[in-house]
Amino acid sequence: MAELTFWTGTMDAGKSTLALQTNHNHAARGRVGRIFTSHDRAGEACISSRLGLTHPALEVTPDLDFWRFTVDTLTHGGRIDYLVCDEAQFYTPAQVEALAKIVDELQIDVFCFGILTDFRSRMFPGSARLVELADRTEVLQVEALCWCGKRATHNARTEDGVMVTEGEVIVVGDVEAEDSPPAEVAYEVLCRQHHRRGLTAARAKAVSLAPEPLPFG
């Protein structure tokens, strides 16, 4: 039986790597699939991994109808055994419902990959609908780490090195490399405690380098 599976984790947990590996494994067994993504860090119509892997993909825009795309492809003699859907947090709830319909009505496997919450710690509508509809929701076993060494559970957005909690939900950026100059817009994975405090790696380093306060006389 076909399944709708949702693989989730924080940024830097290897979701796109797993998406590409999933496609490779199925294609190696003679199955034919389609790869979708949305707002990938590498640009439009491309799925990329931080390990350096890339693959062409179909860009998911808000007006893409997954059901119509799939039915039209099959009607015109195309073959689809599975769909790989990366950055699924950016899909609309209606698109997620269409993916579930493809699984149920056409018996096509759908593998979705995405993060649960945005930089404000609020669930993306697409991710919320996936959790509600998926046959299985799997948390990636590769744990991203906060700068303190704890398991990272939250995605933080920084602007010029400072954590922000307001702004547009979708702003393309990447996880900032350690010891690199602050990017205009970047992301960092943090544990809940340090996300609550807004304590990024750069801020923690600055605080630790600050001189100790003078004792009161």
Cα 120-125-128 angle, rounded to 5 deg:
95
The residue from 87, 159, 176, 188 that is catalytic is 87
Helix (H, G, I), strand (E, B) or coil at 117: strand
Q: Tokens standing for 193? A: 């405690």
87 as an active site residue: the answer is yes
CA distance 63 to 91: 10
DSSP conformation class of 173: -
d(CA 149, CA 166): 26
CA 22 to mean position of chain CA atoms: 15
User: Which residues are CB-contacts of 71 (< 8 A; sequence separation ≥ 6)?
Assistant: 106
* Catalytic residue IDs: 87
